[in-house]
Each structure stands twice: as structure tokens, then as C-alpha cells.
Amino acid sequence: MVQKLGMGTAVQSEERQAEELEEVNEEPMSEENGLSKWLYPPEEELPDDKEMTIFDHLEELRDRLLISVVAVGVAIAGCFVFAKDLIVLLEKPVYSLGVRFLALSPGEYFFTTLKVSGYCGLLLGSPVILYEIIAFVVPGLTRSERKLLGPVVFGSSFLFYAGLAFSYAILTPAALNFFVSYAEGVVESLWSIDQYFEFVLVLMFSTGLSFQVPIIQLLLGQTGLVSGDQMLSVWRYVVVGAVVAAAVLTPSTDPLTQCLLAGPLIGLYMGGAFAVKLLINNREPLELED
């Protein structure tokens, strides 16, 4: 009787140890399966498109690059025609601050119009560039990845233009107001028009690019490299990283501009982490059940 009880206890302890080992290995195995599934998708997920040789891909890439360059060139030429109107629009953030602009060299204003036209033309031609990139990449995507492509493209475009609007309406006026207020009563604000537009354009585009953080998180979650819980667990490092990224991305060195950019970056990261947790991590148990 004692031997039977001892054998039963030993069997139960072995079962508990096995369950504990399964629980410990469950999360790494799920992450490994997610990554391997992304690298080696099942046959039913593969598209039915025709196969192309490397030379066919290179020829297609050349044609799409040519279309993108022509589209951006036409957009730049159109923006150059309305360069004065664009310059007046970009000068509005400092209209009420009493700032005067100066051309410190004979060709400074001309080269400034070229710079403004180039940035605005690239902005207007970006939908064509994005379409050509998508058309080139789509044949190599699986069916599930193609379903994710639409939301990613729409979300990326929306966040980029939202970053531009945020920079133009809030970030740029706050930074310029800080500089003018700091120098008030000591020096008169006479700014070089070339340096002003370099500051404004770099700040706007860097803000638009930094707003792509949730899209990168969704792509990492889709590949299985990082889970939503892992993203949320490193929030302390994210706060420090957002402040450092804001200091690098903003062309100014004032703390106000850096804080105004770091705040939305932290919010976007946390929103992206929760989105990965809700959309991707909760979808995996359903797939396992099926």
C-alpha cells in the first residue's frame, strides 16, 4: 500500500514538472513558430502569380523608379510655379511674432524657392512613389500579408500627414515663439530666409517620419519578432528613447520642442503596443483552435 502511494506521488510530481516545463516553453515556442511561419509560409498562403526571373524583376524595378522620378519631377516643377505662395504659407507661424526675413546673399531667395519646391514636390509625389513600391512588392506577399497591406498603407499615410499637420500647427510655432521670446529685449529678430525654411522643413518632415512608430510596431508584431506584452514591458526605455529621438530629430536644441515631440512619440508607441496586443496576439489563439 505504501509503495502504491509512493508511486502515485512520484507520478503526480513528474506530471507537475512536465506541465511547468510546457508553460515555460510555451511563449518562446509560439514566438519561434510565428517567425518561422513568416519566413516559411505554408503553401496555401502563397499567391498564384507567375514566376519572374531576376532580370524581369530588375526591369520592372527600373520602370517603376522611372515613373516615380518623373512624377516627383513634375510635382517639383508645379510647386516651383507657386513657390511664392508656398513661402508665404510657411511664413505664417511667425507672422504674429514680428520676425523679419533677410536674403543675405544674391541667390539665397532663389535657392530657397528651389528647396521649398523640392520638399513640397516630394510630398505631392509621395503617393505615386508609394503606389509603385506596393505594386513592386505585392507579387511576393502571401494572402494574409496582402490583407494587412491596405491598413498599413492607409495608416502610414494618415500618420505621416498627421505628423506634418502637428508640426505646422503646434510644434513649429511653439519652437519659434520660444526663440523669439528668449531674444526679446536683447536682439531684433532678423532671420535668414534660407536657414528659416531649412529649420521648418526639416522639423516637419522629421515629425512626419517619427509618427510611423505604430506602423513599425504592427509589422514587427505581424512577423512574430515582438509581442504586445514585450513592447509594453519596456515602457521605461521607451520614454528615454523618445526623449533622445526628439533631441536628434528636432533641428533646434530647446527643451520645449523636444518635449512637444517626445510626448506624441510616447503616446504613439503605447497605442501601437496595445494595437499589436489586441489585433495580433489575440488572433493567434483563434488560429490555433482552427
Instruction: Quick: pLDDT tens for 222-238.
Output: 777 788 788 888 888 98
**Range with the largest mean pLDDT of 35-44, 186-195, 252-261:** 186-195
Instruction: Name the DSSP class of 93.
Output: G
Decide which of 211, 227, 254 is a domain's last residue: 211
Q: Can you give the residue range of the structural domain that contains 220? A: 212-284
Select from 153, 178, 211 the last residue of a domain: 211
Q: What is the pLDDT of residue 121?
A: 92
Residues 104 and 136 in one domain: yes
User: Tell me: the pLDDT tens digits for 26-68?
Assistant: 444 444 455 555 455 555 555 555 666 778 778 888 998 999 9
What is the model's pLDDT at position 243? 87
Q: Which has the higher per-residue pLDDT, 215 or 250?
A: 215
- pLDDT number for residue 272: 87
Nearest of 138, 150, 135, 154 to residue 64 by alpha carbon: 135
Against a cut of 0.85, is the pTM above it?
A: no
Residue 117's pLDDT is 93
Of the listed ranges 78-92, 130-144, 204-218, 265-279, the one predicted with least confidence: 130-144
Q: How far apart are CA 112 and CA 2, in angstroms?
A: 93
Distance CA 240, CA 251 (A): 19
Confidence of residue 104 (pLDDT cuts 50, 70, 90): confident
List 191's β-bridge partners, or say none: 101
Domain identity same for 230 and 173 = no
User: For residue 28, is it within any domain?
Assistant: no
Task: Quickly list DSSP for 76-114.
Answer: HHHHHHTHHHHHHHHHGGGGGGT-EEE--STTHHHHHHH
Say what the pLDDT of residue 4 is. 45
**Residue finishing a domain among 211, 229, 248:** 211
- Same domain for 196 and 164, yes or no, is yes
What type of residue sits at position 254? D
The answer to whether residues 94 and 224 belong to one domain is no
Nearest-angstrom CA–CA distance, 36 and 49: 23
